[in-house]
Amino acid sequence: MSLKKPEDVFASLTYATDDTEFFTPMPAGYVKGKTKYLVVFGTVMSGLGKGIFSSSLAKIMQDKGLRVAPIKLEGYLNHDSGTLNPYRHGEVFVLDDGLECDMDLGTYERMLNQDLSRLNFTTSGQIFSSVLEKERQGRYLGRDVQMIPHVTGEVKLRLRELAVATEADIVFVEIGGTVGDVENAYFIEAIREMSYEEGPKTFCFVALTYIVEPKILGEQKSKPAQLNLKLLNAAGIHPDIIACRASSPVAKKVREKIALFSSVPMERIFSMHDCDSVYVIPEMLRGAGIDTAVLDLIDLADRADDEAEEVAKTLWNSYIHAFRTAEHAITIGIIGKYTTVRDSYASIIQSLEHAGAHLDAKVQIEWVDSTDLMDENVAERLAGLHGVIVPGGFGFRGVDGKIACIKHVRENGIPYLGLCYGMQIAVIEFARHVCGLKHAGSTEIEPDCPDPVIDMLPEQKKIEGLGGTMRLGGFDVAITPGSQVSVLFGGAQRIRLRFRHRYEVHPDYIQILEDKGMVFSGRSPDYPIMQVLELPRTVHPFFMATQAHPELTGRPLRPQPMFLGLVSAALTRSGVTPKTIPGLDGSETDSTASAAAANSPAT
């Protein structure tokens, strides 16, 4: 997809005038009615899967050859998601341009096989900051700045900027939270205004609701859904499509009742019940005829390409078939401190599913709380695992348990993949138990530790005055030829990974670690930053860690190579010869080619 740079779009904005005060200034090149909009609202409760529904619907529109662009509107006042606790909001997803955003952006990237940008995510904090900055610049001509038209106008402006930058046929708008929340009321009002401004057949409204099924009653109840749909109507939005979330398929009589009270035709009321994978939702929507309804509602049937859709369907369904028919069960342990909140590791879970489907493996996950691990019980707690992941994290809680875990898997040949913090802890463990640096540590955990093998580099400290020391977004990684990671990426000598961290391997200790057998096979091309490490296969079947978050770039049709390596090694440990062994035997297999494709930019 060819995108215009955000700064080019922003530069085209005009100052308000007396003639246009109550209308949003239009980005240069914007044509009313050319781009269509599909908006997803949540009712009854949050966490129903608006992002999954919206991205699935966007996927089947994309299959038809239409250009789609998603955007998530979040009501919280944070400027981005970077400071949110995983217990409260799930994982922080990092885009290639460095924006820390909601985990739903990860769902969009995986479904659509697109790399998104900061144009695809907006919070109330960003909206209000922009409005206040324009007020200080005098761009409102001395008028009193109000929620309407200025704040709602800023929201409409963001949507139109995205339409211009992506040249999308359809912009998919997901509004965070639920109808009735104070913080998203102005988003809903902005959508109402914009649908009026754009004209007929330009907007499609979808309400995602929840059908309760109390065990004590033994039947589905739609009253909460009915009442919340009335709230949406009261806000000036009449839904065109209603998606009903439930644990089991929504009964016909329940859908009939919702149709009666909402005035939405039965054929546009869809049961979005629990299923074995989020990736089957697109076909569920297609089977229910939702795609046809959308094309009719926003008058896009003439732009659809039936032949392109058939090709895309076949490819996607082959993945679903592979996932459902995977023969060999393996168990991967995820050793972390947010294990009670599965959304904290959403991208890791998905990346394991992708790799498993491609290697004929049904990956089962065992969650291990690192705060409960110690040298005395680690062998018992990790017994039966075919592979282990230590994911990203911050702070000192659970560190001792992770060190005990990594020592055990390193000494016992259990396949290991360390992600971000999982690489830093692997370095500390190796320094202590192999290099003899008994007091090796990280200055994040112990600022005055005698051997700070993990430290904040001077280059990071210099940018502290700019508001933070986090190294964020996509960066190139120079790969050592012939290394395991090089083979996994199809012999590539430079790859691109996404990062979110502020501490690094201290340069003074690199030679000490290498002398004892640690291989730093991925490095920053420009700075003394170690980004991938591994142990030789003569020492360990698969021991790899990266300062990056490779899970952020895994896609169903192009699984992330490091996860392919872990799952393949785990299959071998389980006693199964992998269907393909991507790079672990040094050969150029089909899966190696697949892994190399995962390093290619998304289109």
Of 356, 382, 350, whose CA–CA distance to 277 is shortest?
Answer: 350
Q: 162 — phi, psi (to 5°)?
A: -65, -40
CA atoms of 388 and 475, how far apart (whole Å):
26
Can you read off the two tokens belonging to residue 70? 């998603």
One-letter amino acid at 26 equals M
Can you read off the two tokens belonging to residue 559? 């699984």
Name residues whose C-beta falls within 8 Å of residue 494's C-beta, 6 or more positions apart in sequence: 476, 477, 478, 479, 525
Which of the 8 DSSP states describes residue 556? T
Which of the 8 DSSP states describes residue 183? G
According to DSSP, the residues that pair with 122 across neighbouring strands are 73
According to DSSP, the residues that pair with 175 across neighbouring strands are 73
CA atoms of 195 and 201, how far apart (whole Å):
9
What is the DSSP track for 299-351? T-GGG--HHHHHHHHHHHHHHHHHHHH--EEEEEEEEES-TT-GGGGHHHHHH
Q: Which helix (H) or strand (E) holds 8?
A: helix 6-11
Can you read off the two tokens belonging to residue 567? 């799952």
- 3-class SS at 377? coil
Residue burial 344-381, b: 16+ Cβ < 10 Å; e: rest: bbbbbbbbbbbbbbbbbbbbebbebebeebeeeebeeb
- Say if residue 303 is exposed, middle or buried (CB neighbours under 10 Å; 0-12, 13-18, 19+): middle
Of 181, 203, 180, 194, whose CA–CA distance to 148 is shortest?
Answer: 194
CB 437 within 8 A of CB 488: no
> Which residue is catalytic, options 444, 504, 534, 551?
551
User: What is the Cα Rg of the chain in Å?
Assistant: 25
> Which residue is catalytic, options 328, 501, 540, 549?
549
Of 404, 411, 408, whose CA–CA distance to 425 is shortest?
Answer: 404
Of 299, 237, 283, whose CA–CA distance to 263 is shortest?
Answer: 237
CA atoms of 406 and 536, how far apart (whole Å):
16
Residue 420 annotated as catalytic: yes
Residue 549 annotated as catalytic: yes
- 3-class SS at 53? helix
Residue 328 annotated as catalytic: no
> Which residue is catalytic, options 420, 449, 506, 540?
420
The catalytic site residues sit at 420, 549, 551
